[in-house]
């Protein structure tokens, strides 16, 4: 699961999404009528994903780049087969592709293994 950050009514909005990686891009599925689909077409968005285990060890990655709806029928057919599922009800027949232009990531470690800002220094 990740978070996509986009602008809705001139304000930043964050939504939880399931995602897949496809040829260096981040792909999410959505319904065509949703606010997310409308707001992310040809917009610059941010995407964030992280993982932290019980010992507080993990990672965090942020990607920023343009988004676009996938419209090529062959690409849509291939994306339907990659197993991108949704945890919400309804059909998710549209795909949004985010092409990262800026990437930032870091490993996270428990407080005993960090400097003051929480970043892994080992």
Give the pLDDT of the chain (122 residues) as one tens digit per residue.
899 999 988 899 999 888 999 999 999 988 766 778 777 778 999 999 998 887 778 889 999 999 999 999 999 999 888 877 666 665 567 899 999 999 999 888 876 655 555 555 44
- Between the alpha carbon of residue 86 and those of residues 20, 22, 83, 102, the distances in Å are 11, 17, 10, 26
CA pair distance 50, 30, nearest whole angstrom: 21
Which CATH number does the domain 2-113 belong to among 3.30.930.10, 2.10.70.10, 2.30.110.10, 2.60.120.10? 2.30.110.10
pTM: 0.79
Q: What is the CA radius of gyration of the chain?
A: 16
Distance spanning both ends of the chain, measured CA to CA:
27
Residues in Cβ contact with 13 at an 8 Å cutoff, skipping those fewer than 6 apart: 5, 6, 7, 35, 39
Structure token digits, residue 10:
């001139």
Q: What is the dihedral of CA 112, 115, 118, 122, to 10 degrees?
A: -80
3-state class (DSSP) for residue 101: coil
Calpha distance 53→44 (Å, rounded): 31
């Amino acid at each position: 699961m990740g978070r996509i950050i986009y602008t809705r009514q001139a304000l930043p909005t964050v939504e939880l999404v399931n995602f897949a990686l496809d040829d260096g891009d981040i792909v999410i599925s959505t319904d065509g009528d949703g606010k997310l689909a409308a707001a992310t077409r040809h917009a610059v968005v941010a995407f964030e994903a992280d993982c932290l285990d019980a010992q507080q060890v993990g990672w965090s990655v942020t990607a920023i780049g343009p988004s676009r709806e996938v419209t090529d029928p062959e690409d849509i057919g291939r994306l339907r087969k990659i197993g991108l599922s949704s945890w919400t009800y309804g059909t998710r027949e549209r795909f949004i592709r985010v092409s990262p232009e800026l990437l930032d990531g870091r490993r996270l470690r428990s407080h005993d293994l960090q400097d003051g800002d929480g970043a892994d220094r080992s």
